[in-house]
Amino acid sequence: MLKKHLKNKKIILTILVFIILIGGFFIIKKIEKTKEEFVQTNQGYYKKETDLFDVSIGTEEDSSEVVFKVENSKLSYKLPLEPNWKKNKEGNILAQSGNETFKYSFIKEEEKIIGLKGSLILKEKPKHNVYTFPMNLENIIRSHKASSREFYNKKNEKIIYMKEPFMIDSNGNQSKDINLRITNTQIALVPSKKWLSDKNREYPVTVNMSFRVADSIIKSNSQK
């Protein structure tokens, strides 16, 4: 009888330990996820300081401004709306204006945040296909090549680059037929009107552009 009692007690203790371990695992995962998310400020905008860059979706001065800062170099641009930013359950930041929704999320490689993805979600076929964003550069020099998506600091070191934009419809059809025009004062995103107007196009369509930290900075940071 005593042996049976001790055996039952051992089983119960084992179960309790297992439950505690599982609970601890999920708590750690939740903490790790929280560390990777945007943080809302008292002014209502969102920001995040990562190992490689700082980002702000909205600023105290202008809720439409998106800021991407690497070291002491800053790239910022403004969206064509007065957004009321919200965070969804996935941790992404969104703002909607009519047919358009702007969404921001982090780009990760090997569990490290290396960039910011901006998505323009079109609920239905748009009336126009040209989206312009006034841009400001501080301590940054844009490559003089017209088609370049690279940005350098004053030491002529590449610090930020933009991946080739792409779009995808609700059926999973993708296209890179997007004209990305960058000057020292503006970013213009021009997705193909023909592709957007195709009779087989299934909306909503998501147009993606992203800002990433240069590989040399990622490598230097990993060696610290």
- Arithmetic mean of pLDDT, 191-215: 96
Contacts of 68 (CB under 8 A, 6+ apart): 53, 54, 55, 74, 75, 76, 116, 160, 211
Asked whether the predicted pLDDT for residue 5 surpasses 80, the reply is no
pLDDT digits (tens, 9 = 90+) for 84-116: 899 999 999 999 888 899 999 999 988 889 999
| Cβ neighbours of 38 (radius 10 Å) | 20
Residue 213 has pLDDT above 60, yes or no: yes
In whole angstroms, give the CA distance from residue 5 to residue 156. 75
pLDDT in tens, 37-91: 899 988 889 999 999 999 999 999 999 999 999 999 999 999 988 888 999 999 9
pLDDT in tens, 183-195: 889 999 999 999 9
- Token duo for residue 186: 């503006």
211, pLDDT greater than 90: yes
* pLDDT (mean) for 159-168: 95
Question: What sign for the dihedral angle of Cα 74, 80, 83, 87?
Answer: negative
Q: What is the pTM of this model?
A: 0.80
Q: Which amino acid is at 40?
A: Q
Band of pLDDT at residue 36, cut at 50, 70 and 90:
low
